[in-house]
Structure 1
Amino acid sequence: MADPAARTPDVKVALSTASVYPESTATAFEIAARLGYDGVEVMVWTDPVSQDVEALRRLSDYHGVPVLAVHAPCLLITQRVWSTDPWVKLQRARAAAERLGASTVVVHPPFRWQRQYARDFVSGIWRMADETDVRFAVENMYPWRYREREMLAYAPEWDVTKDDYRHFTIDLSHTATSRSDTLAMLDRMGDRLGHVHLADGKGSAKDEHLVPGRGSQPCAEVLGRLTRTGFEGHVVIEVNTRRAESAAAREADLAEALAFARHHLGRSAPPPGAVGTPPPGAPAPAPAKTSGTGTGAAGEPEEPPARQARGARPL
């Protein structure tokens, strides 16, 4: 990493739109504004609004909450979102990031059964990174486990530090699930660390995405290192709130996660609503419009955006 004497006191803390599931992408912007997050990371998935760049731009403008990162649709549940071709997905994620002013595209390594994509992945990511100022930050994953058996589901490697990428994302729920030495992985990433998914875990085979501070991961120490090492990326709260008993309980968890991040980054948290709250009487953003035909095309929602996407899990 950079000079240990350097400090980065103003690392931005964003909310992943996946953190509000089973609520919608639109709800994530609203919550991020109300709680005072610095921005959002858009998880592109089955919610049509998450796939529609113009709808996202309207939400960002209305709430005053910038899109800081775009998570490409590379989950099992998003195999047909935007395209079935993984390179087309990354091209569309890059275009979305450029249009929305986001600095980062988060991408997972390929599934092992995506053989040609996996063979070309490292060189292809470098090629795409050379074509844009947007960072392609490849995220650490984990072996799938059932009881004492492991399945290596990702290629070339779930431990992305074993391959040569320009930028990495470290996810602290994934380090828990893989039972990795988190600080050693952080050291291996070095100054190529471009993005952080802040969550926690206890080492379960399930990818837990706990609120930071509720598991076994060195979340506070990781954040402390960021402030001392000239980190220039973003910290994104990516936690699982789907079992929250109420909307208020969900927001309490997300407020706690934000306060944890800001405290350990050496930042004071603004009062809820101080960042991004629309002025009284501001018009609501227009609903998403149909953007075309074909696999994964975003269409006009049949319900209010906050009620979209209850049938699949982003985390």
Structure 2
Amino acid sequence: MTRPANRIGLSTSSVYPESSAHAFGYAAALGYDAVEVMVGMDALSQQTAAVRQLSDHHGVPVSAVHAPCLLFTQRVWGTEPWGKLERSAEMAAVVGAEVVVVHPPFRWQKDYARDFVTGIAALEESTGIAFAVENMYPWRASQRRGVEMYMPGRDPSEEPYANTTIDLSHAAIAADDPVAMARRLGPRLRHVHLTDGTGSARDEHLVPGRGTAGAAEFLRHLAAEGFGGEVVVEINTRRCSTPQEREQDLRESLDFARRHLAVGTP
């Protein structure tokens, strides 16, 4: 007999250029357990009341809020980074999510980066929300060695964060072993972005199993270790020419997660 070890969510970014509303619809139709809201992908994602209404309407809970800290969301909810994180925590509290996913600061955000580690800990203390800091990657134009663009660093296992996220596409770009990173993090690993990559210079976010990041091995490791956090499918479906093709990629990703997270029970 087997059972799924974890709740499997769908990131709203996985249906782009369709909207967050479509993401909730796909999640409900395909049987995902939850949704992670990427703030900034569309205007609706910035509206807490709308997100809550979508969750209630489709009967799909929100597992996490991804703060607007990507390069192309730098002006979403203003330009002050701590304000963005506070608003993300407020949304999470209203919609019932326990996690805010956040990237480490860019190198040019020097003041933000200087206080980032202690500031994240203070936010967790004041809000009761887990801020799961995500692994990132060097920027490069080819297979050559890239430029480190994040401070205090791209590997969350090197800092004393209480909660962290592993993204398999990011690990593939950085040539990081996600299983080894998970071992270093231990119980501090709170959140997973399930995807894949081939090690190219691009952040590919492939359907898990279509790349070389070792997604199956990674999920089996999580299951064996009794990982109790969230697993969220975060793939790129922009090249899908029809909603049916996008739905197939989302279904394949969900099936992959369930298959490899299944653990034996007496």
Structure with the larger helix share: 2
| 1:1-315 paired onto structure 2 within 5 Å | 9-147=4-142, 148-266=144-262
Secondary structure in 2 aligned to 1:154?
Answer: coil
**TM-score, length of structure 1 as denominator length:** 0.81
Deviation of the 1:8 alpha carbon: 8.2
Aligned to 2:154, the other structure's residue is in SS state coil
Give the superposition deviation at 1:228.
2.1
The SS at the match of 1:106 is strand
SS in 2 for 1:146: coil
Contact 2:5 2:228 in 1 (8 A): no
Alpha-carbon deviation of 1:63?
0.6
Between 36-45 and 213-222, report the one with greater CA deviation. 213-222
Is the Cα contact below 8 Å between 2:157 and 2:181 reproduced in 1? Answer: yes
Q: Aligned with 1:257: secondary structure? A: helix
Quick one: higher RCO (CA 8 Å, sep 6+), 1 or 2?
A: 1
One-letter amino acid matched to 2:47: D
* 2:167 partner amino acid: D
Equivalent residues of 1:8, 1:228 under 8 A apart? no
Aligned mates of 2:170, 2:23 — CA distance in 1: 22
Instruction: Give the count of matched residue pairs.
Output: 261
Distance 1:8 1:36, change over 3 A: closer
In 1: Cα distance, 2:126 partner to 2:258 partner = 33
Gaps of 5+ in 1: 1-6, 268-315
* Separation of aligned partners in 2, 1:139 and 1:192: 12
Q: State the 1:10 CA deviation.
A: 3.6
| RMSD (CA atoms) | 1.4
Question: Counterpart of 1:227 in structure 2: which amino acid?
Answer: A
The residue matched to 2:231 in structure 1 has which SS?
strand
TM-score (structure 2 length as normaliser) = 0.95
SS at the partner of 1:128? helix
**1:46 shift after superposition:** 4.4
Amino acid at match of 2:224: R
- The structure that has the greater radius of gyration is 1
CA contact (8 A) 2:135 2:166 kept: yes
**TM-aligned CA deviation for residue 212 of structure 1:** 0.4
Q: Could you tell me the percent identity over the aligned residues? A: 57
The Cα of 1:152 is off from its aligned counterpart by: 1.2
Structure 1 residue runs of 4+, over 3 Å off? Answer: 7-10
CA–CA distance in 2 between the matches of 1:222 and 1:236?
14
- Secondary structure, aligned partner of 1:150: coil
Matched AA of 1:257? S
Partner deviation per Cα, 1:162-212 (whole Å, 9 max, x = no partner): 111001100000000111122211111111000000000000000000000
Q: What SS class does the counterpart of residue 125 from structure 1 fall into?
A: helix
